[in-house]
Structure 1
Amino acid sequence: MIRKQLLTLWALFLFASMAIAQDIKPITWKDIPTWKYMPGSAFEISPDGKWTVYGLVQLEGDGEIILQKVGDESSKKTFKIGSTSYPSMQFSEDGKWFVYTEYPTFSEKKANEKSKGKSLKNKAILVKLGTDEKKEFENVSNYAFNGKASSVLAINLSKEGNGDARGSDLLIYHLNSQKAQNLGNVADFSFNKAGNYLAYTVDAANQSGNGLYLMNVAANSMQILDSDKASYRSLAWTEKGDAFAALKMVKDKKYKQDKGQVIGVKNLASPQVTVYNPEKDSINFNQAYTISQNRRPMWSDDLTRLFYGIHPLELAKKEEAKKEVDQDSVKQAEAAAMQKIMADTTIKSISDLQKAIAKLDSGKVKGKKENDADTPDMTIWHWNDSRLQSRQQVMMNQDKNYSFWAMYDVNAGKHIQLQDSSMRDLNILDKQRYALGSDLQAYELDGNLDGQSYRDFYIVDLKTGEKKELFNKFYLPSYSSYPRESPDGTKLIYGLDGHFYIYDIPTAQSKNITEGLPTTFVNTEDDHNVEKPMNGALGWSSNSKYVILRDGWDIWQVPVGSGKETAINLTVNGKTDQIRYQYRFGLDPEEKGIDLSKPAYIRMYGEWTKKSGIAQLSPAKKGGLTPGAKVLIWDDFNVGNLSKAKNAETYYFFQEKFNEPTQVYLTDASLSNPKQVTNNAPDAEKYAWSAGTMLIDYVSDKGDKLQGTLFLPAGYVEGQKYPTVVYYYEKLSQTRHNWS
């Protein structure tokens, strides 16, 4: 398909009109280093929805954060945070406390660079919300409140010294009593979701007292779960917070890598600790492998199995042998050089000999032999390599750290390897009953040459480890065709030949769910060298009964069962009115699928108006969503990033125009009467800025309707001529309302 290119016209700002007021000046390069702006989404709202905070930073200067109680302008406070590109800040779950990082100032960093002094340290500032109380902690590395309990703040202090031990002091600051206790040599720490338990590892000098520990926060009591001459790492809590897993790594001089063991801890009130040491399992575990530290372990939801990575062991002797070879080659070179000197008849004195030796040493320093030509710097790609050389370089570290999934059945006391080199990718599905495996090695070279992507897919039974083939040479025109699991972990949705299918894993049955619908889910505007790429599915319903699809204009609710229920066009007017209903805003970061019993908020975009907005789909009484989108926001600006406070019905979104900075607006579930709560780019009004934008419609020489955006200069006067830059690249007119 021939790429449609839309025209974007960029007018130069430096040719501002004489109509600009005298006290408004064009921005120059000298103004850029001290330009204050809100980086990315450096905005936070407290979980109870009562407090907001946002950060402003600058390239060459110090940043600040602005904290305010919602609806109370008099409560606004500004805190200096030193020089950083992104603020670090955090509210406690109960909305009573706030902590942020204060970095060294820009001038301190510059002075330290010149003097080459010791590394500067950060501070943590704890604020009791609604008061003037502040507490400062020096030399801070990172920190965390203890989840829902919100009773302590854990502060990991910066490591002192350059020893091999990873640990440093961990302060446990009790928020109500204002008392602190110190846990020494802590390397990793993590609270569970409820915040009543803290798991941490100790990593001390000479591995003295290294171990895995559990603290009961409310009782303020500690237990040693495991201790050894080992390194403990990769703490991973279950989502419920009722168990966690970790790795135990032991050095073995025979191998380059540490040998690993996996630890599982459950029944936290009276901890039940499982340690699986593969060295003691010669029956089920291949002793040429070990447990890898490059993959974080995890429990199954039912706490019966532990999942972890394994990788091959590599003998250290190979490296030693290489060093010996290198030493031999050095000795041979030195012997050859000495023979050359001894054969040199021009050497008549000690002085001549010294000059010859000096000349030889000089050649070593330069790194080349006498009369050698400059050695070119190049990389070599063999035509049989499955990856291009550039791709090999990008993937080098990933390949080096690669590991295979395996599991340990705690009740049976059995290790099961879940994949090997014939199946390079494995995704453990929700509920950990099945896994989806895939491999592209047989097709990777051809894919790099012709741009077509294929994979073999497999289903792995996570009770037995048994693997069976799902698809052979499955065509993937885009990622949207890739199989995606349902929340119950028993079904997959995938795209094939222009349709979406559901595969039921237990019955091994496939069903075409889009056949016969009065629309197509093929992305007809994708101009890559592929056939029938799909528009991405928006996701599964949380009950695994529906999938939510988009056809490029409208959003559809499609049942996956075998009943009489039919697919529904939920947004109705998208294609008719040339409005693209693009995606759903996920308001709950912990959701498992789309909860159709709650309203769904959808992002809207006008194909030819360039307007944007947010629409709402309401739940139906009999399940699913009701057709017909209610438009809540729709105007000539760029709106997005709709989110809400974790534990309150306080919503916020981002809004911007090309000549109006990105700002955050607070509102309720109706999104009505939004109130601006940030002041991003506060210096913008000091400068001559764009007068706005205009849309230009035109028809290409192929007869296609196209559109461009004209970005006007400051002080624009209609009818005057201005120097103009023209920029063509794919489709850019949709950037009309993007603040830069």
Structure 2
Amino acid sequence: MRPPFVTAALLALTSPCPLVAQQTSTSRPLVTPKDYGRWERLVNPVLSANGEWVAVPINRVDRTAELRVYGLRAGADTTPFVAAEGRDPVFTEDSRWLAYRIGQSEAERTRLEKEKKPVRDGAGVRRLDTGATTTFTGIRRFAFGGSRYLALLEYGAERKGDPGDPDSAVQSADLIVRELVTGTEMRFGNVTDFAWQDSALFLAMTIETPDRAGNGIYLYTPRTGQLTVLDGSRERYRGLAWRKDGDDLAVLRSRDVNGWEQPTHEVLVWRGLAKTPRASRFDPRGAPGFPEGMRIAEHRVLSWSDDGQRVFFGIQEWFTKPDTTAKDSTRAQGGGDEPADVEVWHSSDQRIIPMQRVRKEQDRQATYLATGNLASGRFVRIGTDLQENVTLLEGQRHATETDGRSYRFENMFDTPRRDVWLVDLASGDRRKAVEGVWYFHGASPGGRYLLYFHDDRFHTYDITTGARADLTGKLAAIFVNQDADWPVRRQRRSWGVGGWLDKDAAVLLYDRHDVWAVKPDGTGGVRLTQGAADSVRHRVVRLDPEAKSFDPAKPLYLEFYGEWAKRFGYGRLSLKGAAPQGAVRRLVFEERRISQLAKAKRAEVFTYVID
């Protein structure tokens, strides 16, 4: 049996990497039912940044798994390193180290559950040039600190928790900080969470002791060994958030209030930790505009604005504690009988009762997005409906919120229709930018345009001027998906959006077979591919998950699908602005399923999977 894995530079294909020896055609045995469990499935290969290593997770039908690590350099040993039950591989930025999770086999998991013992994962770390490998047992989470350190958080004692106190079940445990080269380890106790600063200058930790006397947030500097207490109290600390590429830190600190269920939170902030730290906080009690009967909740992850002037958090309704001394009059009148189970559904309910039951926990944790200005203390509520989507735009000066309240009845039978509101994060002002659309495709990466599909055409709304533009009405192509023809649906979906070019210069739109680069102000567009000629569908591949847009100075990679021959493959197209420079170059195109194209971060090395 040969698994579906090929690695390639896309210009010169290398030989396939057989993971199991093949039989000759004359001696190949029959596959019997006892062999079914050995059937393998490849799961998301991961390349090192320099392209010299690839980690390949493998899952089998019998629910066993392993991680295989191959060297890709010329002359490298083709024998892979194999980690039984290995998964979730992560390379360091310098490509010298690999860390991975070690799970439990199905048989071992069943045995532990039968014996009522906890099922706990482990972790491994491997030095790639020497092959030296260290494994750890009982590891709940791990993360590299740059290319020099590895932090591993163990499992804590099992606690059931109090249903009325969501923090009571949080496990505190030992945190191991390992220097990779020397193997030196530091251990910290009673840690509930940790977060590395981007350059690994600092490691922030939240601490919670059994009696809560030692609770606090601690800052560890691994290069010097210094440990600093940033804040300490009997409260709980949650949601560590570093500002991207900075040394500013935010965290939630709980605050119990008599008579109210669940705690509210303050946002504690430290800026300039590498030089002269400045501490501040956002307290909802004194924040102008903070609504009564609401609390800052722990369920949404804290985040920063790019300029470091705002933090974003979630708020939700805050309820008073019920009167536990009051008697249940209905039970007294019922003569001691247990109340009957009755489910009442109203026609105005958007979700049927089984869905409400399934989403009960998600609904309990749902929050409204809000922001606080750290300098002025001004509060701005962004979200107004827990069932709608709120998105921050680039630069965090505006946000969008969808609103389907005007269409709730028709949305029960059709693709949800919504308005789109634009929120000014400085003033809190709201204006309706888009009305009554079924397909809203969000904002451009530069934050200037809102893109939506309506009346079988793509449109934009310019945030700066308020102008609207029809992007595709005059183009010689059909952008509506004519195959998506279901009853009731009033607006069929489009063929899709491939992304944007840098500086919002153009948006990449799909017709049935081709990719178009269309100017967002409606002044025209150009077809980049010629897939319609031989019925080959072309779609854009996003190789850099961190990039918000495509650089027109770099090649654009495309995936192919031949509709009639069922052929799959990948190709490359050079761009200059929004005009194609020559035809698409087909790099691989075969009558086999080809998928999962990936690229090394700092090398022209690619992987793809063949089924």
Deviations 1:172-223 (A, max 9, x none): 1111222111111111111132222222211221222222222233333232
How far residue 332 of structure 1 moved from its aligned partner, in angstroms, is: 6.9
Deviations 1:41-91 (A, max 9, x none): 2x2222221112223343546433222221445363443424xxx723322
Correspondences of 1:311-350 after superposition (within 5 Å): 311-317=316-322, 320=324, 324-326=326-328
Quick check: which one's helix share is greater? Answer: 1
Evaluate the alpha carbon distance shift between residue 632 and residue 425 of structure 1 in structure 2; reply closer, same or farther with a 3 A threshold: closer
Partner amino acid, structure 1, of 2:515: I
How far residue 21 of structure 1 moved from its aligned partner, in angstroms, is: 6.6
Q: Mark the runs of 5 or more structure 1 residues left unpaired by the alignment.
A: 1-19, 338-363, 369-374, 657-740
2:588 to 620, 633, 639: 633
How far residue 436 of structure 1 moved from its aligned partner, in angstroms, is: 1.1
How far apart, in 1, do the equivalents of 2:107 and 2:353 lie? Answer: 43
Correspondences of 1:566-581 after superposition (within 5 Å): 566-571=524-529, 573-581=530-538
How far apart, in 1, do the equivalents of 2:548 and 2:480 lie? Answer: 26
Aligned to 1:263: 268
SS class of match (1:397): helix
Check if 1:154 corresponds to 2:110: no
Which structure is higher in RCO with an 8 Å CA cutoff and minimum separation 6?
Answer: 1
Maintained 8 Å contact 1:547/1:559:
yes
Check if 1:498 corresponds to 2:462: no
2:184 to 140, 164, 179: 179
Aligned to 1:293: 298
Aligned to 2:512: 552
Aligned to 1:139: 138
Aligned residue-pair number: 575
Identity %: 26
Maintained 8 Å contact 1:497/1:532:
no
Check if 1:418 corresponds to 2:382: yes
Which structure has the greater CA radius of gyration? Answer: 1
How far residue 398 of structure 1 moved from its aligned partner, in angstroms, is: 3.1
Partner amino acid, structure 2, of 1:527: D
Maintained 8 Å contact 1:545/1:561:
no
SS class of match (1:87): strand
Correspondences of 1:429-508 after superposition (within 5 Å): 429-449=393-413, 451-472=414-435, 474-476=436-438, 481-508=439-466
Aligned to 1:35: 38
Aligned to 2:82: 79
Evaluate the alpha carbon distance shift between residue 410 and residue 114 of structure 1 in structure 2; reply closer, same or farther with a 3 A threshold: closer
Q: More deviation in 71-80 or 129-138?
A: 71-80
Q: More deviation in 160-169 or 500-509?
A: 160-169
Check if 1:530 corresponds to 2:490: yes
Evaluate the alpha carbon distance shift between residue 36 and residue 195 of structure 1 in structure 2; reply closer, same or farther with a 3 A threshold: farther
Correspondences of 1:83-162 after superposition (within 5 Å): 87-116=87-116, 118-147=117-146, 150-162=147-159
Maintained 8 Å contact 2:40/2:59:
yes
Maintained 8 Å contact 1:388/1:448:
no
How far apart, in 2, do the equivalents of 1:517 and 1:105 lie? Answer: 56
Aligned to 1:200: 205
Q: Cα RMSD (Å) of the superposition? A: 2.7
Maintained 8 Å contact 1:264/1:299:
no
Evaluate the alpha carbon distance shift between residue 134 and residue 303 of structure 1 in structure 2; reply closer, same or farther with a 3 A threshold: same
How far apart, in 1, do the equivalents of 2:269 and 2:502 lie? Answer: 29
Check if 1:68 corresponds to 2:70: yes
Maintained 8 Å contact 1:64/1:78:
no
Maintained 8 Å contact 1:570/1:627:
no
Aligned to 1:603: 559
Maintained 8 Å contact 1:62/1:80:
no
Aligned to 1:646: 601
How far residue 551 of structure 1 moved from its aligned partner, in angstroms, is: 0.8
Evaluate the alpha carbon distance shift between residue 627 and residue 208 of structure 1 in structure 2; reply closer, same or farther with a 3 A threshold: farther
How far apart, in 2, do the equivalents of 1:106 and 1:447 lie? Answer: 42
How far residue 120 of structure 1 moved from its aligned partner, in angstroms, is: 4.3
Deviations 1:542-565 (A, max 9, x none): 2111111111111111122477xx
Aligned to 1:428: 392
Aligned to 1:4: none
How far residue 250 of structure 1 moved from its aligned partner, in angstroms, is: 2.5
Correspondences of 1:502-517 after superposition (within 5 Å): 502-517=460-475
Aligned to 1:55: 57
Per the normalisation by structure 2, the TM-score is 0.87
Deviations 1:251-288 (A, max 9, x none): 3352222211122332121332321111234x422231
Maintained 8 Å contact 1:570/1:626:
no
Maintained 8 Å contact 1:68/1:76:
yes
Maintained 8 Å contact 2:123/2:135:
yes
Evaluate the alpha carbon distance shift between residue 416 and residue 106 of structure 1 in structure 2; reply closer, same or farther with a 3 A threshold: closer
Q: Mark the runs of 5 or more structure 2 residues left unpaired by the alignment.
A: 1-24, 162-167
How far apart, in 1, do the equivalents of 2:372 and 2:253 lie? Answer: 15
SS class of match (1:442): helix
SS class of match (2:360): helix
Q: More deviation in 481-490 or 545-554?
A: 481-490
How far residue 610 of structure 1 moved from its aligned partner, in angstroms, is: 0.9
Partner amino acid, structure 2, of 1:484: G
How far apart, in 2, do the equivalents of 1:158 and 1:144 lie? Answer: 15
Per the normalisation by structure 1, the TM-score is 0.73
How far residue 156 of structure 1 moved from its aligned partner, in angstroms, is: 0.6
